[in-house]
């Protein structure tokens, strides 16, 4: 399993809510942000002398909860002393950013996180105040007491749990590294699957479950089990993917090895496989977990497995024939949506089984905002979050959340 921490990838971090001057160039005739020295960030950026400017590569990201994909921009930012022409005054350092598709979206009050990465570049993430993204970033980087002034984070506070790792990768931030033992696993994977192509997700997931170790007990601790299976599969996937991608890069693209269109197509296929595989793996592991607990259920795949308007719930308990049977008691029916991350897609679950007023949704997403969980509750949706991930939620949210162990117990009582 992964054992790295956020501090393995970042040197320092600070965050604030944007003031009007920060977000609106018309208020100051500049694109610049002040206050970083007060958060101790100056030691990461340096102290340019009079007349000097330090430039850093910067990945800028803007994302809102309802966004399926973030707005991304790569460019430069300048760290300089805005009093450089006033030698009698003490330095005042500011971070100058250039206009980009990301900065065009900024608004007063938006949350900004600035992080110095180990490769000497900067990461700048903007998101509306109170969003789920803000909650996740604050947990991930150990941030608290955010105001209009920059507040420094505590990078060593948080282990890079799988849900937080997936969140960063959704933002286009690669957090995969070679670890001790990877070569041993690669040899096993090549022996098992041949080392030429990826097997079907169901086959790869079955291998991950079989090799996840003896400490995983699906009957006694289903919450830890689902995270253990997912985490182990993600690690194996990255090891095997690295091997396959290296092989492909060495062989080149096209007849002369430099076909740009073929390279772009290959790159997109790698990204799409990552995204689709995680969701399929999650459903497959849940399927196996429910079978081990003896639950009766069907997944919304295959001919005839639909509810109203051809909707296909991820899991229906005890099954679709019972759901469509007018004589079957509706209080003995349950449905469960499964989404590794919710974003705005959780609303899809609400219309997937009209006969079941109280629906369940299981997710691996950490630190969903209080505003979003309140909206879920108002629509009769019960969120199911594995117990270890629940620690990223606020206390009042955790009183409402249930884990997989509780959900399984509910279904067992229902099916007696």
Q: Could you count the other beta carbons within 10 Å of the beta carbon of residue 205?
A: 26
The domain limits of the chain are 10-160, 182-292, 298-415
Please give the residue that has the higher pLDDT: either 31 or 365.
Answer: 365
Architecture of domain 182-292: 3-Layer(aba) Sandwich (3.40)
Average pLDDT of the residues in 196-219: 93
Lowest-confidence pick of 32-36, 87-91, 208-212: 87-91
Beta bridge partners of 73: 60
Q: Which of 17, 240, 323, 393 is labelled catalytic?
A: 323
Is it the case that residue 157 has pLDDT exceeding 60? no
Determine the pLDDT at residue 385: 96
Average pLDDT of the residues in 329-336: 95
| CB-based contact 48:121 (threshold 8 Å) | no
Determine the pLDDT at residue 80: 86
Helix or strand run (H / E) with residue 152: strand 151-152
**Domain 298-415, CATH among 3.30.70.20, 3.40.1190.20, 3.40.91.80, 3.30.420.40:** 3.40.91.80
Is it the case that residue 58 has pLDDT exceeding 70? yes
Architecture of domain 10-160: Beta Barrel (2.40)
Q: Tell me the per-residue pLDDT of 13-23, one tens digit each, with 9 for 90 and over.
A: 989 999 888 88
- Alpha-carbon distance 52 to 147, whole Å? 30
Please give the residue that has the higher pLDDT: either 261 or 363.
Answer: 363
- Alpha-carbon distance 197 to 177, whole Å? 21
Please give the residue that has the higher pLDDT: either 238 or 181.
Answer: 238
| CB-based contact 384:204 (threshold 8 Å) | no
Is it the case that residue 402 has pLDDT exceeding 70? yes
The percent of the chain in helix, strand and coil, each rounded to the nearest 5, is: 40, 20, 40
Average pLDDT of the residues in 325-347: 92
**Domains 182-292 and 298-415 in one fold:** yes
Q: Which residues contact 75 (CB under 8 A, 6 or more apart)?
A: 57, 58, 60, 97, 98, 100
Please give the residue that has the higher pLDDT: either 105 or 66.
Answer: 105
Is it the case that residue 235 has pLDDT exceeding 80? yes
Determine the pLDDT at residue 297: 97
Average pLDDT of the residues in 345-356: 91
Determine the pLDDT at residue 268: 84
Is it the case that residue 383 has pLDDT exceeding 60? yes
Lowest-confidence pick of 50-54, 219-223, 410-414: 50-54
Percent of the chain with pLDDT over 70: 93
Answer yes or no: 323 catalytic: yes
Structure tokens at 328: 């079957």
pLDDT band at 121 (very low <50, low <70, confident <90, very high): very high
- Alpha-carbon distance 210 to 232, whole Å? 10
Determine the pLDDT at residue 330: 94
Single pTM value for the model: 0.87
pLDDT band at 85 (very low <50, low <70, confident <90, very high): low
Determine the pLDDT at residue 152: 80
Parallel, antiparallel or unpaired: strands 359-363 and 334-339: parallel
Please give the residue that has the higher pLDDT: either 376 or 36.
Answer: 376
pLDDT band at 66 (very low <50, low <70, confident <90, very high): confident
Q: 272-281 long-range CB contacts below 8 Å, 24 or more apart?
A: 273/198, 274/169, 274/241, 277/201, 277/237, 278/166, 278/234, 278/340, 279/338, 279/339, 279/340, 280/201, 280/202, 281/201, 281/204, 281/205, 281/208, 281/230, 281/233
């Amino acid at each position: 399993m992964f054992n790295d921490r956020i501090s393995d990838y970042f040197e320092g971090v600070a965050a604030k809510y944007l003031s009007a001057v920060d977000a609106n160039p018309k208020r100051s005739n500049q694109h610049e942000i002040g206050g970083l020295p007060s958060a101790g960030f100056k030691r990461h950026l340096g102290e340019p002398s009079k007349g000097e400017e330090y430039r850093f590569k910067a990945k800028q990201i803007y994302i809102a909860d309802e966004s399926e994909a973030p707005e991304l921009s790569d460019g430069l930012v300048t760290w300089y002393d805005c009093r450089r022409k006033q030698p009698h005054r003490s330095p005042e350092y500011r971070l100058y950013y250039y206009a980009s598709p990301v900065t065009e979206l900024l608004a007063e009050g938006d949350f900004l996180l600035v992080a110095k990465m180990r490769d000497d570049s900067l990461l700048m993430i903007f998101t509306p105040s109170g969003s789920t993204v803000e909650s996740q970033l604050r947990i991930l980087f150990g941030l608290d007491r955010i105001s209009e002034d920059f507040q420094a984070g505590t990078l060593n506070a948080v282990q890079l749990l799988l849900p937080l790792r997936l969140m960063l990768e959704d933002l286009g931030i690669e957090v995969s590294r070679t670890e001790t033992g990877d070569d041993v696993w690669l040899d096993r994977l090549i022996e098992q699957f041949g080392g030429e192509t990826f097997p079907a997700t169901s086959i790869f997931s079955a291998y991950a479950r079989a090799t996840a170790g003896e400490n995983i007990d699906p009957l006694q601790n289903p919450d830890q089990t689902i995270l253990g299976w997912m985490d182990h599969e993600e690690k194996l996937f990255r090891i095997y993917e690295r091997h396959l991608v290296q092989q492909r890069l060495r062989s080149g693209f096209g007849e002369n090895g430099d076909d740009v269109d073929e390279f772009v197509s290959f790159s997109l296929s790698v990204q799409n496989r990552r995204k689709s595989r995680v969701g399929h793996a999650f459903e497959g592991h849940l399927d196996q977990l429910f079978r081990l607990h003896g639950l009766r259920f069907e997944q919304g795949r295959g001919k005839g497995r639909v509810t109203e308007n051809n909707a296909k719930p991820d899991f229906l308990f005890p099954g679709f024939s019972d759901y469509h049977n007018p004589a079957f008691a509706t209080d003995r029916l349950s449905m469960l949506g499964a989404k590794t991350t919710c974003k705005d897609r959780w609303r899809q679950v609400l219309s997937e089984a009209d006969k079941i007023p109280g629906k369940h949704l299981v997710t691996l997403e950490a630190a969903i905002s209080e505003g979003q969980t309140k909206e879920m509750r108002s629509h009769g949706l019960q969120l199911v979050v594995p117990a270890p991930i629940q620690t990223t939620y606020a206390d009042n949210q955790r009183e409402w959340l249930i884990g997989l162990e509780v959900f399984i117990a509910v279904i067992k009582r229902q099916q007696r």
